[in-house]
């Protein structure tokens, strides 16, 4: 049995943060919840609630995230898939494939190749809030971002998916279309629907999404999708709703990591005092989106 952290008598935030560091540093070791809770004088369930409220993840989820981070680093460094799995501390290959593919949004070999072989269709449209690009895999929309120009947005898409095959679709200029109409028709209809929502306050389209993030980010993004049109939430409200009431800073980071503007409405999250807070695509756009949604609310 591996050595455990030194006994702690007080279950304060500093002690829990120190334990979280231990868990990340030694993510390849087994840490039964009962043994983690015992030094703090708490039951396993009470300890897990306290830990999750502070850190944003349960001890197990934190270690899973640490192992996934190591796996991603090893794959990016070019390690063979099986070696990368073992280097990351998974111990065996039997259970990692389904879990990692779910969190990476692609197979391990595809991630190692920088999404090589994955086909992503994309298009750009000038909206009332500036240029908007949307891109989709076979699973759904993986990218919807505002930018200065189509070329700048294409460069950002390429940074997000460096070795995928990017196939452009320009619905407004058929002579320049580089993909088949059959392949790009859904994407063109999707960006039309989002453009109509931005320009004429039409209902926000419910589109299939291909979201890729950590377990905590996914919890935040799914909650944001449930915030009704015309309503807002504070960062602290979101943290409470996803089971991590002290993780407001992590909520802000998750909002900033969102690749899918409007469809994952991170613009509906404000500071506790009602101020706008941050927004990946500029506060002017955030303000305009909120004002338009407030006016369109029944």
| Catalytically annotated residues | 266
Residue 78 burial (CB < 10 Å; 0-12/13-18/19+)? exposed
Judge contact between 259 and 142, C-beta under 8 A. yes
Nearest to 102 by CA among 267, 24, 217: 217
The whole-angstrom separation of Cα 164 and Cα 179 is: 15
Residue where the block lists tokens 């929309």: 141
Which conformational region is residue 159 in: left (phi greater than 0), alpha (psi within -120 to 50 degrees), or beta? alpha
Tell me how far CA of residue 8 lies from CA of 14, 110, 234, in angstroms.
Answer: 11, 44, 34
């Amino acid at each position: 049995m591996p050595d455990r952290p030194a006994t702690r008598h007080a279950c304060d935030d500093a002690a829990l943060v120190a334990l979280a560091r231990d868990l990340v540093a030694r993510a390849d070791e087994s840490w039964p919840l009962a043994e983690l809770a015992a030094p703090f004088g708490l039951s396993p369930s009470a300890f897990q609630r306290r830990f999750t409220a502070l850190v944003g993840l349960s001890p197990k989820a934190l270690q899973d995230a640490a192992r996934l981070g190591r796996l991603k680093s090893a794959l990016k460094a070019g390690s063979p898939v099986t070696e990368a799995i073992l280097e990351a501390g998974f111990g065996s290959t039997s259970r990692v494939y389904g879990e990692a593919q779910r969190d990476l949004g692609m197979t391990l070999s595809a991630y190692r190749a920088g999404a090589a072989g994955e086909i992503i269709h994309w298009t750009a449209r000038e909206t009332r809030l500036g240029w908007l690009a949307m891109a989709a895999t076979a699973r759904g929309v993986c990218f919807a971002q505002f930018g200065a120009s189509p070329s700048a947005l294409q460069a950002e898409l390429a940074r997000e998916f460096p070795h995928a095959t990017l196939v452009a679709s320009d619905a407004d200029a058929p002579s320049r279309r580089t993909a088949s109409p059959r392949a790009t028709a859904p994407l063109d209809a999707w960006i039309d629907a989002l453009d109509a929502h931005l320009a004429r306050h039409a209902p926000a389209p419910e589109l299939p999404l291909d979201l890729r993030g950590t377990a905590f980010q996914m919890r935040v993004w799914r909650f944001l999708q449930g915030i009704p049109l015309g309503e807002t939430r504070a960062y602290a409200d979101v943290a409470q709703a996803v089971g991590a009431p002290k993780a407001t800073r992590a909520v802000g980071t998750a909002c900033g990591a969102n690749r899918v503007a409007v469809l994952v409405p991170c613009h509906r999250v404000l500071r506790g005092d009602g101020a706008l807070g941050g927004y990946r695509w500029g506060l002017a756009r955030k303000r305009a989106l909120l004002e338009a949604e407030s006016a369109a609310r029944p």
